[in-house]
Structure 1
Amino acid sequence: MLHYKLNTLYFSATDTTKKVISGIAEGLSEAMNLKESINSIDFTLPKIREKSVSFSKDDIVIVGVPVYAGRVPNVLLKYLNSIKGNGALAVAVGVYGNRNYDDALIELRDILELDGFRVIAGAGFIGQHSFSKTLAKNRPDKKDMDIARDFADKIYSKIDTGESGQVLLIKGQKPYRNYYMPRDEKGEPIDIRKVKPKTKDSCIDCKLCASVCPMGSVNLEDVTKVNGICIKCCACIKKCPVEAKYFDDIGYLKHKEELEIKFIHRKEPELFL
């Protein structure tokens, strides 16, 4: 096998995508018996997305994004479209909260191919839903991570046998479906795009919420204010040491409850090679 450098490239506000991508990368590194450390690019924070990255045909890049409303998050498109693959091999991974990944994977594959990557594998994994403490709770779990390691072995075999030349077939449809939109009991759309988190009086002003916001929207001087857009990643909520952040919007809470009830049945990872 040719000598490759292994890279991870991911957005992971609550660390679920990071865990999946790291598991695949570690498995692939072991399978390929690589001596060099894995080059990791975490583009969750806005500062990192200010600078584009470039790879070469000697690179393998495991790319991971969360699935938002069945698609690649639109706030990441500018950065993703700026990456230069230059013939590098890529693995496209979407992590979703147990509802569905819809067209996110085929969209990510297309983005990477337009960037100049050769996409040789793809996968839809499940992570605990950003809105919830119960939906896909504690996932990715051990079973998921075992599948991630097995996926890495399959990727290695595909590269080793030289089968990485053909276009990767991935589940999804084109043109892509519209972003998934929750609806109320009358069938009317529930638009939560402008909904922002509130702050309880128990806030200790540690500023952690401001430092973990992937949009840089939480005001550092007054963390009760959200100046920019909120993508509902819930990093500020799930990482707050005193649980001072919360949502109280009726539409948001209805959508959250609906997801927790309707999609309680465990989904399993899907692999494409």
Structure 2
Amino acid sequence: MDKKINAIYFSATGTTKKIVFGISQQISKNNDNETPIHNIDFTLPEARKTPVSFTKEDIVIVGVPVYAGRVPNILLKYLTSIKGNGTLAIPVVVYGNRNYDDALIELKDILELNDFKVMAGGAFIGEHSFSKTLAQNRPDEKDMTIVSDFGNQIYTKIKTQDQIEDIVVKGNKPYRKYYMPKNKNGAPADIRKVIPKTNSNCIDCKLCVDVCPMGSIDSNDVSKLNGICIKCGACIKKCPTHAKYYDDANYLKHKHELEIDFASRREPELFI
């Protein structure tokens, strides 16, 4: 296979990166020369300022997390700026064991509108951004075995099919509305404006400033936000002293319900 392999992803806590890179690595391993992988990490704000384009000499594995059953709306501007020019693409979505709803079909549609040729797609599970117990430590060894097998299937399809066939993935058109939790009275609860708090454990290391994908945490006072919070979990899960937390009642209710209602293990779904 004489193609440049590109892994492009948004991955605030590392789960999407692990899956996208795993697929890319397995495709590369199948080549005699182990084709180098070109990584494009657009998690941080600066990376999303520069649009990228590809050619028919490329293959692109594009990964995003699932937020409320959809592609995160804060990524749409960047994603729609990427140009395919007939490039083979594999959309990958990663969700926290609830459901990926319409995220995969939405990402597939975005890529096709950008002149990519979507040849495969996958929905994988990663530890939920709200929780340390829901889909804990996933993608795990079992997941990564499926990731490797998916990479092998993609490589075989490229090598054996002169004309790459279109694929069909799960999802609805029009897309469903963003999933919204309910408060204690059963009414929709909008948690978009909920922000993390900072406790006395903070040592002002500013790691949270560095990892925030919105660039929202104030570098002079890490307890303050200068922009939006997308509840990605990066500042909480990566804080070395466990200084970051949420205390909003609706957020905590939703988190608890997710951990109870969706505790049963879900498995990746592949489309090729």
Counterpart for residue 61 of structure 1: 60
Assess if the C-alpha contact under 8 Å between 1:24 and 1:151 holds in 2. yes
In the TM superposition, 1:241-252 aligns within 5 A as 241-252=240-251
Alpha-carbon distance between aligned partners in 2 of 1:234 and 1:171, rounded to the nearest angstrom: 27
Alpha-carbon displacement from aligned partner over 1:79-98 (angstroms, at most 9, x marks no partner): 00000111111001000000
Assess if the C-alpha contact under 8 Å between 1:121 and 1:272 holds in 2. yes
Query: How far is 1:185 from its partner?
Result: 4.0
Counterpart for residue 22 of structure 1: 21
The yes-or-no answer on 1:90 pairing with 2:89 is yes
In the TM superposition, 1:164-179 aligns within 5 A as 165-179=164-178
In the TM superposition, 1:1-273 aligns within 5 A as 1=1, 3-162=2-161, 165-273=164-272
- Name the aligned partner's letter for residue 130 of structure 1: S
User: Which structure 1 residue ranges, 5 or more long, are not aligned?
Assistant: none
SS state of the match for residue 211, structure 1?
Answer: helix
TM-score normalised according to structure 1 size: 0.98
Query: How far is 1:148 from its partner?
Result: 0.2
TM-score normalised according to structure 2 size: 0.98
Alpha-carbon distance between aligned partners in 1 of 2:28 and 2:215, rounded to the nearest angstrom: 33
Alpha-carbon distance between aligned partners in 2 of 1:108 and 1:171, rounded to the nearest angstrom: 12
Alpha-carbon distance between aligned partners in 2 of 1:255 and 1:164, rounded to the nearest angstrom: 46
Alpha-carbon distance between aligned partners in 1 of 2:117 and 2:229, rounded to the nearest angstrom: 33
Distance 1:164 1:207, change over 3 A: farther
Alpha-carbon distance between aligned partners in 2 of 1:124 and 1:93, rounded to the nearest angstrom: 6
Task: Report percent identity of matched pairs.
Answer: 65
SS state of the match for residue 82, structure 1?
Answer: coil
Query: How far is 1:34 from its partner?
Result: 4.0
Aligned residues between the structures: 272
- Name the aligned partner's letter for residue 271 of structure 2: F
Alpha-carbon displacement from aligned partner over 1:61-119 (angstroms, at most 9, x marks no partner): 00000000000000000000000111111001000000000000000000001111101
Moved over 2 A (4+): 32-36, 163-167, 184-187
Query: How far is 1:260 from its partner?
Result: 0.1
- Name the aligned partner's letter for residue 113 of structure 1: E
User: Which structure 2 residue ranges, 5 or more long, are not aligned?
Assistant: none
SS state of the match for residue 47, structure 1?
Answer: helix
Alpha-carbon distance between aligned partners in 1 of 2:225 and 2:84, rounded to the nearest angstrom: 35
Assess if the C-alpha contact under 8 Å between 1:127 and 1:136 holds in 2. yes
Assess if the C-alpha contact under 8 Å between 2:157 and 2:164 holds in 1. no
Out of 259-268 and 34-43, give the one that drifted further: 34-43
